Amino acid sequence: MADVLNATNVTKRFGGLVAVHDIDFSIPEGSIVSLIGPNGAGKTTFFNIIAGIYDPTAGIIEFHGENMIARSRRAWLEPVLWLTPPAILALITFVISGTGNEGLTGLGILVTVLTLLASMVTGVARPPAYQRFMQRFGIFRSARPNDMVVAGLGRTFQNIRLFANMTAMDNVLVGMHSRLKTTWIDALLSTPRDRREEVTSRVTANELLTLVGLKGRGDTVAKNLPYGDQRRLEIARALASKPKLLLLDEPTAGMNPNETADLTRLIGRLRSELGLTVLLIEHDMRVVMGISDRVTVLDHGERIAEGTPDEVRKDPKVIEAYLGTPPA
Amino acid sequence: MTTVTVAARPRNPIGRFIRIAVIAIAAIIIYQLVLFIALQQTWLVGTSALDAQHAFPVAVQQTINALSIGAIYALIALGYTMVYGIIELINFAHGDVFMVGAFLSIGVTLVLFGQPVGVSVTNVPFLILLLVAALVIVMPLTGLLNLTIERIFYRPFRGGSRLAPLITAVGVSFILQNLALVLVGSGDRGAPQIFPLEWELPLGGASVSVLSIFIFGLAVSLMVALNLFVNKTRLGRAMRATAQDQQAASLMGVDLNQTIALTFLLGGALAGAAGVVWGLRFGFVRQDLGFNAGLKAFTSAVLGGIGNINGAALGGFFIGFTENLATACGFSRWSEFLVFLILTFVLIFRPTGILGQQLGDRA
Amino acid sequence: MIGLRARWRLFRARARTFSEHHRSASILITMSIAAVFLVVLPRIPPFSAIQSENPWYDAFANAGVYVLLAMGLNVVVGLAGLLDLGYAAFFAIGSYTYAYSNSPFSGLDLPFFPMLFVGAAVAAVFGIALGAPTLRLRGDYLAIMTLGFGEIVPIVFVNSDPYTNGTNGIGGIYRPEALPFFGEFSPLTSFNYMIVMIAIVTVAMMLLYRLHDSRIGRAWMAIREDELAAAANGINTVVTKLLAFALGATTAGFAGVFSASKLTIVSPDQFYFTVSFTVLAMVIVGGMGNIWGVAAGAFIVFLIQAVLLKQLSSIAELLNVPPIDIGPIHFDLVKFDFTEYQYLLFGIALVIMMLKRPEGLFPSRERRAELHESSEGALDDELATGAAGDA
């Protein structure tokens, strides 16, 4: 079975503090993996690196075999490259202006300005073709959060980050953003494609809401939902981007045992019905032991144990990390 | 095992002072040379280019001028940087506090001195008395103004979104400007330049204005005093702690309201000092003074490293020198454009500024 | 039995649901009704007593310029949450583009309606040029950069005499070509300007609402709510913000061309920070994020300034308001010139709004959600879903 995610030697340093140190980590396709460890172990930092929020100080992360996250290389070269065509055109225009031909000079200025704009926008938007072109020069920029989503990653947040003042439906529709095809021009002109997609996207959104147990609640403003439902909504939103790997950051925090059991069942169904691979950060050991295929334990930024839930539960290093060594 | 290394601070204050002094003197000499060369270039200055013999004294004068204008920007920049460091808000109204200080100093001088604009005071003890009086009266008033602004307009937004207090700050700035416009009228108001402009010292073949030296000295003294306060006193330590981590500081018993109020008070006082000095030096005050000077002072703060007090001073002088260079070469109309370009470059290529540290996340 | 208040809330919920589901239709209906009012009201007392029709139509047409500006800035500030303090710069660029293309100064005379689009496009280009490098910055820094840009553009215009005639500006700008049926454009026929403005505003509103209700509109609002979460959901925040910026600039460009063709003179002092601030105040007072809200807000604020303040002293005279004498202070309302104080009033209005009612006079749906009590908000949700179910 191929690995959905493969992290090698990942290290993250914040100034003098090493949050994550030399971690190797891989997630087999279709599995449910849990990441546990005491507070401050570096779990959320590692999560954020995978999600594209931080660049690692060292190491690489491959997603579906493609090198997506690593320390940026030769980033300075990028602006040099996309400034070159306009610079050349500016030079040509300067030469032309020496000849005194006003019309041609004006044309030259126009072309230079438009090229400069196009370069700037391309440099900012970074379409895939542009990124591949840059890689030929050895320029590598680590994937940003939205790049990871396009590649098939979805995530939820530890302390729910819904769009609080937007409706549940709108939240899910935003989640779908990267998979919708209509552009702002389609919207402006109200093309048939735009109208069609608005309808179909809402149908899909409703299906997702139903899947997580929020059927019919689409018009409720997100922050008016009860806490447990907000967590479910966040999962629905993450699912809207049709991810292959779902990152859940403490999904059962603050839930009572019933809600926890419901959510655990939901996670299981995500794997069995939707074929998702799931990476979980969790503190609730019932969830971890109950649903994980594999558990990885972090402490002080390092991987101290990995294996099936039973193996990890009995590992002395894990016990020590959580409970400390008994006095001699 | 995690390794935690904390960079050690140079513990030798004398050594640091000497380092700063050496760098400063070197910068001044370099600037002097740059000006000296620039003033002779016809392609730069046009027909008013000078020959070597004339260029040197002019360069010396301009260098001293640059020091004084840099000092003013530095004083204002300190207020911006301290406030931003502590609550991450650009106090748009700060430049206008400076403008109010300038107007107030006119008022104080007129009341105490009574003479019309254009007459200076040659009696040294009386001059000293007037200057001290102006500073002692204006600085607390502008400090209080800044503090009041924080209390009424910024405190309600603490802990919430960053957009709302920013908009409000712009509103307060606008109100101050228009209040001045309504109360005083548009156009330049003459300020009594009580410090005799004709006092000069011979230096390097030129005559250098004593006023500029006085301004520079005053500003440096205030900055040193501020530095000592922030680094050596309990309240100063509270300010630094709050700037680093508000929540942790309050958990350690720091009174957030008091500390933030103090920051605004100090920043406002410094802006007031800048206002007094402006009147002395330039002889006019206008209601949009704060807007223009504020933009330049903020650029200085960003250039030096926002949140960093030494950075604000550094940036202020740098911007002052830049503006002076442009003016000396005849490009005074473009000096604002130049400052904006500097701001653009700094924000794009090194947003943390020259002396700044890395800021946290990115989306 | 349902009380009056509940009935009102039900009606309001239904009206909102209707307009949300039938945007363009409701815009056309409302704007047509508004147009009728705007045409008829100046002819009847008390409005006709204050001033004759033409100055009223003139004021409406000028107000329309600011309505357009406010709607454009609303996309940037209200929808995407980016504080642009130099919005007047794009207004200036649109104006000067038209001025240069249609005046004795340059000798060109290009047709008005195409120039509307050209001016807008030029402004858009500058919007992209400013936005591309700066939209990655944090909100405060972006605000300063836009402020700086807003300062620089008039300075450049002042100092570029060969193209812009420096501080004197470009005068004698040609008015738009005569319309069929309505006739020529002149200072005496402000009616024509007003009609064109109403049409432009209506079209702009429809287009802006289309964007608001679409994928990009949701992306803007998501960025405004929580930029990190927006990125974590696949939104390329920089490009999305750039789009908001560019569209805002485009709208200002449209407004600029129209304004230049109406005032027939452009000069740098028309575009200083005061203008940017005024538009921002209109957006805040009207209701950030609510397209109708800012349009109404801009219209009201502009009319207060253009008509009410001017006429306040004559109204005081009409009402025989006596002067107030308190000790040494002699305050005579009749002689008071309110227009001097208008900017001060705008500043105070903005600050009071931000402190007391930041969602504005006509809050958007999101801001209403933000500031209602949870239970009240849930009730409105029920009413809305109930209303949708019935409809």
Is the pLDDT at A309 greater than 70? The verdict is yes
C279, amino acid identity: V
Greater model confidence, A243 or C192: A243
CB of B88 within 8 Å of any CB in chain C? yes
Is the pLDDT at A306 greater than 60? The verdict is yes
Is the pLDDT at A31 greater than 90? The verdict is yes
**Predicted confidence (pLDDT) per residue in B277-332, tens digit:** 998 888 888 888 899 899 999 999 999 998 888 899 999 999 999 999 888 887 78
Residue B284 pairs with which residues in a beta bridge? B190
* CA-closest candidate to residue B264, choices B112, B109, B79, B87: B79
**Domain end residue (candidates: A242, A262, A291):** A242
Mean pLDDT for A82-86 is 88
Q: How far apart are CA B256 and CA B266, in angstroms?
A: 15
**How much is the pLDDT for C373?**
47
Among B157, B167, B172, pick the best mutation site for testing chain C contact (most C Cβ within 10 A): B167
Among A142, A144, A161, A174, pick the best mutation site for testing chain C contact (most C Cβ within 10 A): A174
Q: How far apart are CA C16 and CA C28, in angstroms?
A: 15
Burial of B93 (0-12, 13-18, 19+ CB in 10 A): buried
**H helix intervals, chain A:** 43-50, 77-99, 102-125, 128-136, 145-151, 168-175, 184-189, 192-212, 227-239, 257-274, 285-291, 309-314, 316-323
The closest CB to that of B4, out of A17, A53, A54, belongs to: A17
Q: How far apart are CA C129 and CA B291, in angstroms?
A: 25
**How much is the pLDDT for A324?**
67
CA of A182, closest CA in chain C: separation in Å? 8
Query: Within a 10 A sphere around the Cβ of C224, how many other Cβ atoms?
Result: 24
C356, closest residue in chain B (CA to CA): B156
The enclosing H or E element of A60 equals strand A58-63
**How much is the pLDDT for C327?**
54
CB of C148 within 8 Å of any CB in chain B? yes
CA distances from A249 to A177, A184, A266, B117 (A): 21, 33, 15, 69
Greater model confidence, C282 or B352: C282
A322, amino acid identity: Y
Is the pLDDT at A74 greater than 90? The verdict is no
**How much is the pLDDT for A113?**
86
C388, closest residue in chain A (CA to CA): A219
- The answer to whether residues A174 and A237 belong to one domain is yes
> Measured in whole angstroms, how far is the alpha carbon of residue B62 from the centre of its chain?
19
ipTM rounded to 2 decimals:
0.91
Contact between B5 and A16 under an 8 Å Cβ cutoff? The reply is yes
Contact between B72 and B61 under an 8 Å Cβ cutoff? The reply is no
Structure tokens at B351: 């947003």
**Which residues 6+ apart lie within 8 Å of A119 measured at CB?**
A82, A83, A85, A86
CA of B98, closest CA in chain C: separation in Å? 18
β-strand pairing of C108-109 with C170-171: unpaired
Structure tokens at C344: 């001060």
Q: Looking at the domain assignment, is residue A115 inside a domain? A: yes
**Predicted confidence (pLDDT) per residue in B183-236, tens digit:** 887 778 877 777 777 777 777 667 788 888 889 999 999 999 999 999 899 999
CB of A145 within 8 Å of any CB in chain B? yes
- The answer to whether residues A222 and A178 belong to one domain is yes
CA of B349, closest CA in chain A: separation in Å? 10
Q: How far apart are CA A134 and CA A75, in angstroms?
A: 10
Q: What angle do CA C98, C100, C106 make, to 5 degrees?
A: 145
CA atoms within 13 A on the CB side of B280: 31
Give percent of chain A above pLDDT 70: 98
Query: Within a 10 A sphere around the Cβ of C348, how many other Cβ atoms?
Result: 18
B358, closest residue in chain A (CA to CA): A15
Contact between C115 and B307 under an 8 Å Cβ cutoff? The reply is no
Q: How far apart are CA C27 and CA C206, in angstroms?
A: 7
B350, closest residue in chain C (CA to CA): C137
Contact between B236 and B230 under an 8 Å Cβ cutoff? The reply is yes
**How much is the pLDDT for A67?**
86
**Predicted confidence (pLDDT) per residue in A44-67, tens digit:** 899 999 999 998 999 999 998 888
A145 CB neighbours in chain B (<8 A) are 363
Mean pLDDT for A68-90 is 86
CB of C13 within 8 Å of any CB in chain A? no
**How much is the pLDDT for B359?**
44
Taking only residues 76 to 115 of chain A, the set having a beta carbon closer than 8 angstroms to any beta carbon of chain C reads 113
The enclosing H or E element of A12 equals strand A3-14
Radius of gyration over alpha carbons of chain C, in Å?
22
C218 CB neighbours in chain A (<8 A) are 166, 170, 173-174, 177
Number of H helices, E strands in chain A: 13, 10
**How much is the pLDDT for B107?**
85
**How much is the pLDDT for C281?**
94
β-strand pairing of C102-103 with C108-109: antiparallel
The closest CB to that of A220, out of C214, C367, C381, belongs to: C381
Name the pTM for this structure: 0.88
Domain positions in chain C are 49-390
In which band, very low, low, confident or very high, does the pLDDT at B358 lie, cut at 50, 70 and 90? very low
Q: Looking at the domain assignment, is residue A299 inside a domain? A: no
Is the pLDDT at B94 greater than 60? The verdict is yes
Q: How far apart are CA A123 and CA C291, in angstroms?
A: 32
* CA-closest candidate to residue B106, choices B73, B134, B78: B134
Task: Give the range of the structural domain holding residue A190, as residue numbers without chain letter.
Answer: 159-242
Q: Which CATH architecture has domain B48-348?
A: Orthogonal Bundle (1.10)
CB of B182 within 8 Å of any CB in chain C? yes
Backbone angles phi, psi at A40, to 5 degrees: 85, 5
B46, amino acid identity: G
Radius of gyration over alpha carbons of chain A, in Å?
24
**How much is the pLDDT for C121?**
94
3-state SS class at C288: coil
**How much is the pLDDT for C388?**
43
**How much is the pLDDT for C324?**
66
CB of C350 within 8 Å of any CB in chain B? yes
Strands (E) located in C62-133: 102-103, 108-109
β-strand pairing of A32-36 with A294-299: parallel
Burial of B167 (0-12, 13-18, 19+ CB in 10 A): buried
Q: How far apart are CA C311 and CA C114, in angstroms?
A: 38
- The answer to whether residues A123 and A177 belong to one domain is no
Q: How far apart are CA B123 and CA C193, in angstroms?
A: 67
Which DSSP letter does residue C3 get?
-
**How much is the pLDDT for C212?**
93
Point out the least confidently predicted range of B115-119, B222-226, B358-362: B358-362
Residue found under tokens 């924080």: B150
Residues in chain C: 391
C82, closest residue in chain B (CA to CA): B163
- The answer to whether residues A87 and A131 belong to one domain is yes
Is the pLDDT at B158 greater than 60? The verdict is yes
Q: Do B4 and A21 touch (CB under 8 A)?
A: no
Most confident listed range (A138-142, A206-210, B58-62, C185-189): A206-210
CA of C387, closest CA in chain A: separation in Å? 12
CA of C25, closest CA in chain B: separation in Å? 34
Sign of CA dihedral C132, C136, C141, C143: positive
Point out the least confidently predicted range of A75-79, A215-219, C1-5: C1-5
Q: How far apart are CA C82 and CA C143, in angstroms?
A: 8
Is the pLDDT at B361 greater than 50? The verdict is no
Interface of B to A at Cβ within 8 Å reads 1-7, 357-358, 361-363
Q: Looking at the domain assignment, is residue A175 inside a domain? A: yes
Which DSSP letter does residue B153 get?
I
Contact between A241 and A176 under an 8 Å Cβ cutoff? The reply is yes
Q: How far apart are CA B247 and CA A307, in angstroms?
A: 39
A51 CB neighbours in chain B (<8 A) are none
* Omega prior to C46 cis, within 30 of 0: yes
CB of A79 within 8 Å of any CB in chain B? no
Taking only residues 249 to 308 of chain A, the set having a beta carbon closer than 8 angstroms to any beta carbon of chain B reads 300-301
CB of C384 within 8 Å of any CB in chain A? yes
Q: How far apart are CA C234 and CA C243, in angstroms?
A: 16
Tally B–C CB contacts below 8 A: 103
CA of A78, closest CA in chain C: separation in Å? 14
In which band, very low, low, confident or very high, does the pLDDT at B363 lie, cut at 50, 70 and 90? very low
Structure tokens at C28: 């056309």
The enclosing H or E element of B58 equals helix B52-87
Q: Do B166 and C156 touch (CB under 8 A)?
A: no
Q: Which residues of chain C have pLDDT under 70?
A: 1-2, 310, 313-318, 320-337, 371-391
Contact between B314 and B299 under an 8 Å Cβ cutoff? The reply is no
CB of B185 within 8 Å of any CB in chain C? no
CA of A155, closest CA in chain C: separation in Å? 7
SS3 assignment for B252-271:
CCCCHHHHHHHHHHHHHHHH
Contact between B178 and C344 under an 8 Å Cβ cutoff? The reply is yes
CA of A317, closest CA in chain C: separation in Å? 34
Q: How far apart are CA C201 and CA C63, in angstroms?
A: 11
Q: How far apart are CA B138 and CA B142, in angstroms?
A: 6
Q: How far apart are CA C126 and CA C144, in angstroms?
A: 17
Contact between A256 and A11 under an 8 Å Cβ cutoff? The reply is no
**Predicted confidence (pLDDT) per residue in B245-264, tens digit:** 888 888 888 899 999 999 99
Among B1, B2, B5, B359, pick the best mutation site for testing chain A contact (most A Cβ within 10 A): B2
Q: How far apart are CA C125 and CA A274, in angstroms?
A: 45
